[in-house]
Amino acid sequence: PMRAPSCVSAPQALPRPAGGLSVLTYNVLLPNSVDGWWTYKMYAPYKVQVDAVREGTWERRSALLRQQIQEAEADVVCIQEVSPGTFASDFSFMRDLGYAGCELFKKGRFRPATFWRPSVELLGPAVHRDRCLLTTFALQEDPARVVTVINCHLQAGPEGARRLRQMHDALDTAFKAGKKRPQTSASPDMAPVVVCGDLNGEDGSAAVRLLEDGAVGPDFLEDSYSVTSKVKKSPFPPMVDASRAVADRDPPATLVVPELISVLTADGEVGRETTLGPQARVALEACFAHFSGGGERMSKDQVAQWLTAINGEVGRGSEFRAAVAKMGGMPQPSLEGAPAAAAAAAPAGAGASGEGREEAAEEPRAPLVLPEDGSLTLENFLDIYELELRAGKYWGVAHDLHVMGHVPEGLKTAGEFRGRFDRIYVSAGARVTTVRDCVSEIACPNAAQPSDHLPVGASIEIRTGTAASPPGTGAGGVSTQ
């Protein structure tokens, strides 16, 4: 029987197997250099000793990203959450690291991108599906060994049905491509395929079940809802989760963030019906009393002082836009339910800090100003932060409470949410030989980790021909005996 994959830990490099390649997947966290300003809010100085403003700069974060990627020595690097406007300059260091080729997803604000070294050759144009980027490579040392790499950043939030469709569509596209390839045309279900990226879900998500079980039916529930009206089948046999293929250990978490939801919300509710929890409400009432000078309303100048404290200046951030609305300067946002994009921003898997960044980042089309005669009541103030929670910006609310000097004790003592959203899967046409872990004992991002996600790597042997896995092995060639 074939041996189970070995394991190395960062900063060790991934070995390149004979007849194979190494792959690294990494959600690098938007904002990058220019698009957005709020990265420092995602650090947790109330839990981890860190200079959030300094560490949150792109200069600091890009240096750490470069170091992480350089140490891994992967042939193919799949990253998520890059900004298209500054992509070329933000990741110019990749060419310095020997990555001669790259493909950027063609639309969206949070885009995946795939880089590769001259050890592999891109075959044909990349294929762009819904939040999935497909590239097919031949090994330079053995062009008969061909593999398709699917770089995914599946939809976040309570969107299990869409994540399932995204994954099914990407697999179906890879299968159809394999039918046209001489090496796998006779048995396209055995084509070597690597699926990697941020799946925005764990073992209970439909997309993961499709990869691991090969099918998902109408009776499957994700977040208490059915995700498909008919059976969706993968065109490939069940795939191997690279990290779980390592013997005698539990795969480490790839998303390590402060556990905020239980402290900030009532009864741990997430989504459109989220309301402030008692600890958050008491803390915010104290914040309002401070900025209002104990009065029943905050004047325009007092609102400006509050906004400067939390956002560094007046005129940016969703708190500013909501304040303008509450003060009569524009139509008010609804508390009957956050917009779908905002409600979908929290990761699937209650307890996470929440994404909420795409909705948070939308800037108004015309300049807004605080109305001269406007003011905010306590109810207005609490409503603004309830909207922040409904948009999935738990990290933003926690940051604001910290800088306003009223952090609920629960935030200081709460643990971390640890999820495994970032994964690498291999089809039966490939075999995992080594897995590379990167772990953090404290909430991310921090002074050592530039993203809330941790990178995952694997060395993968590419099979030739279309024969099924040898007897005694499961998909991916991992021993079952």
Contacts of 477 (CB under 8 A, 6+ apart): 2, 428, 430, 431, 432, 461, 463, 469, 470
**Among 205, 118, 161, 158, CA closest to 423:** 205
Residue 356's pLDDT is what?
Answer: 52
Using DSSP's 3-state secondary structure scheme, residue 291 falls into helix
Q: Tell me the Cα Rg of the chain.
A: 23
> For the chain, how far is it from start to end, CA to CA, in angstroms?
7
Looking at residues 215-232, what average pLDDT do you find? 95
Segment 419-478, tens digit of pLDDT? 999 999 999 999 999 999 999 999 999 999 999 999 999 999 998 864 333 223 334 444
Q: Does the structure show a pLDDT above 80 at 114?
A: yes
The encoded tokens of residue 94 equal: 């990749």
Which pTM was predicted?
0.89
Q: What is the overall mean pLDDT for the chain? A: 89
Query: Which of the residue ranges 74-83, 229-238, 361-370 would you say has the lowest mean pLDDT?
Result: 361-370
Using DSSP's 3-state secondary structure scheme, residue 361 falls into helix
Q: Does the structure show a pLDDT above 70 at 230?
A: yes
**Quick one: how many helices (H) and strands (E) in the chain?**
15, 22
Segment 408-424, tens digit of pLDDT? 999 999 899 999 999 99
d(CA 191, CA 466): 7
Q: Supply the DSSP string of 179-197, one letter for each residue.
A: HTSTTTTT-GGGS-EEEEE
